[in-house]
Amino acid sequence: CGCKGIRSCLLCEEPAQAAPPPQGEDHFTYCPASGLAKGNEHSEFAGWTFPFPGVFLMEEFISKDEESEIVELMDQDDWKPSQSGRKKQDYGPKVNFKKQRLKAGSFTGLPSFSKKIVEQMKACPVLDGFLPVEQCNLDYVPERGSAIDPHFDDWWLWGERLVSLNLLSKTVLSMSCDSEDSIQLFPTFSKENGKLTPPGPFTQASACRNSGTEGVNCVVSPRLVPSKEVTVAVHLPQRSLVVLYGDARYKWKHAIYRKHIERRRICVTFRELSAEFSAGGRHEELGKELLETALSFQGRPV
């Protein structure tokens, strides 16, 4: 397998040479319609909610036929073993993130089939001006125990927006936070139609019906909890596009747990350049060169 260090998969865990990775529990579920993280029914945070900024989700970003064509083209190239039971195809420059060194290497651009995907992204306001300089395809299957631990994507080279297309099966993106900050939760109550109401202005408390006395109202104040105690599940349907930016990019780590890989899943992640490699940045010229190569759409996996 391709596991290194503390990483492991079902292939290297079988002889008990490595311990299986932790399987985190998600306390909240992100609601794309409201932008809120809502407490899961059986968690200690049931009935509570808070704004979760920095996530854009579009379902059915591509059609079934487009999905089949893309995967068929991917499978014509080799998949290299990667860590934690994944396989990968990289289209991007050669990077040493620890030493902050970068060179084009054998990078010849993004694959031809991605040109249409990138063009369709322009319809998303959150992706205005997005120019991908790197593409990484990751192959997950339950037989290998595929997963990826909570992590931040590098921000020396990669810019504000991380864009991923979820293919072949649904999964869950699990968000966690190591910050010492606290999160302010607000109570959420059901209306007669069963829908959840969003929290009111932060300066107002929410009124609820006292469960013990008919006709008597009680006031529930917001609740503060440590960020470290909160996890949020972002459900990714098959063929959906997700964008992480702002707090979801820089404050919250993201992960895919083994238990959320039910059958083969391919993640296609696109990354843009950071300010350091963009117009006016210290490495602007190198950034221009890399973008010109990337957007030729003539690449093969490196």
How far apart CA 278 and CA 222 sit, in angstroms, is 42
State yes or no: pLDDT of 151 exceeds 70: yes
* pLDDT score recorded for residue 30: 98
Closest Cα partner for 43 from 54, 27, 57, 32? 27
Closest Cα partner for 160 from 193, 208, 127? 127
pLDDT digits (tens, 9 = 90+) for 164-207: 999 999 999 999 999 999 999 999 864 444 454 544 443 333 33
Q: How does residue 105 score in pLDDT terms, banded at 50, 70 and 90? A: confident
Which residues, 6+ apart, have CB-to-CB distance to 46 below 8 Å?
39, 40
How far apart CA 98 and CA 124 sit, in angstroms, is 33
How far apart CA 205 and CA 175 sit, in angstroms, is 27
* pLDDT score recorded for residue 295: 98
Check the CA dihedral 95-104-292-298 and report its sign: negative
pLDDT digits (tens, 9 = 90+) for 245-298: 999 999 999 999 999 999 999 999 999 999 999 999 999 999 999 999 999 999
Ranges 23-32, 61-70, 125-134, 188-197: which has the least confidence:
188-197
Please state the pTM of the whole predicted model: 0.88
Which domains does the chain carry? 26-185+222-296 (2.60.120.590)
Closest Cα partner for 288 from 179, 133, 109, 93? 133
* pLDDT score recorded for residue 199: 46
150 φ/ψ angles, rounded to the nearest 5 degrees: -55, 130
Residue with tokens 């994507």: 153
Burial 234-247 (b: 16+ CB within 10 A, else e): bbbeebbbbbbbeb
Q: What is the spatial order of strands in the sheet that 28-31 belongs to?
A: 148-151, 253-256, 171-176, 231-236, 28-31, 36-39, 48-51, 182-187, 223-226
